[in-house]
Structure 1
Amino acid sequence: MATGYDVVGSGEHTVIAVHGWFGSARAWQPLIPHLDPTAFRYVFVNLRGYGDRRGEPGEHTLAEAASDVRAVADAVSAERFSLVGHSMGGSVMQRVLADAPERVRSLVGISPVPASGVPFDDDGWALFSGAATDPEKRRAIVDLTTGNRLTGVWLDAMVRHSLEHSDERAFADYLLAWAKTDFHADIEGDPTPVKVIVGEHDPALGEATMRQTFTRWYPNCTVDVLANCGHYAIDETPVALATSLETFLREAP
């Protein structure tokens, strides 16, 4: 039985949104006021170990997460749907496509993790792998990935959300899933319409990375770079993000 999702809107086009490593279904709230609830039905999911699925057992793999997303689609009677994924959620949405391509109308990645995973040097891996047990490392990651340019009040709020809405074990497991899993051979050449939306201040998952991965693997992929934005467009530039997102979704077959 599918659990752990919120529905906003009643439009004919179902859009399933998958949160990032620091997120949850509630992390999309800054974006929701700017979405069109008459054209779209948005389904904001919680992955296992997040939100109202904290404490739920699981392996926290991409395959498991993708299976859970399909279960949510079944629960809301969506045979075909578009997918939106932020960061880690961008990896999950591509696994859904690889496993059930006939069900996916289009993909929108918001600073998405490529299907090849993410390479780390030793210092970077020490920072990210230590974040499960160290809130200061979580804060440093959010600061780094938004270009060291945003108020500490917001950084602290992001860390609080992460701590309050995710299990420590799930948080640690999902890092291995999105960073160390390479399944790009499963999606390379897929004709599904894809849009990737990135921030100009995102040092790792910005335009250059998208052009080395997404645009090479998906023949129908476009890239949109948001000004005055880092890795967290949902918070940093929600109006611009909603505009870019829905402009694309309205054209999905």
Structure 2
Amino acid sequence: MRNIKLTIEYDGARYNGWQKLGDTENTIQSKLEKVLSEMTGRKIEVIASGRTDSGVHALAQIVNFKTNINMSTKEIRRYCNQYLPKDIVVKGIEEVDERFHARYNAKSKKYLYRIRIGAIPTAFNRKYTYYVPNYLDIEAMQKAGSYLLGEHDFKAFSSVKSSKKSTSREIFEMDITKEENELHLLFHGNGFLHNMVRIMVGTLIEIGEGKRTPESIKDIFASKTRENAGVTAPAQGLFLYEVFYD
């Protein structure tokens, strides 16, 4: 049995997220599995590095699936890109060890969040940026970002309902850069809880607007209460940027 690893780029704007659902086929996973199953003549189930929510994009989602099909990796990639919707693209493909698991072997991930700033919104990037018309104090946001670094209990920065699983995560890197009329917020961590990045972004935006102080991050951590953090930033600005393996 061959184990095939795919690197996928997708525009999540019109999909109900990554994970296939019982009541709709309008998910990235459903579209990919349909094409792979038609290609192989057998039902294919794919494993992803993680789920992305409705409206969230990916620059490098990692997926693996197993098959006995006698096609080269180039032929598989060509077939996928011919029959997948044009907003889902297989960028890379390789045959890997049979033990490789896209989810369980992932060591860390990077997420990018794009914020449009300035007096004028954009007509063309509205699906890929979150427009904030208010002035943002980038220096205050960067200071607040420094308090997110390291290992913490991120329960207050998540939509996790269950208290059974650990909500401790480690953020290795948090950078904010300005590129023309956009702010790019890059988060690198060993794992992310549901809506964790979007809630961190929403909190940093409120700090940039002067509604909170950078030091309030410490109080949010201590509270372990979702209501004490900022709003959940919209999905369209979020991209799964990179997944790291050994």
Normalising by structure 1, we get a TM-score of 0.28
Structure with greater proportional helix content: 1
Structure with greater proportional strand content: 2
Higher relative contact order (CA 8 A, sep 6+): 2
* Structure exhibiting the larger radius of gyration computed from Cα positions: 2
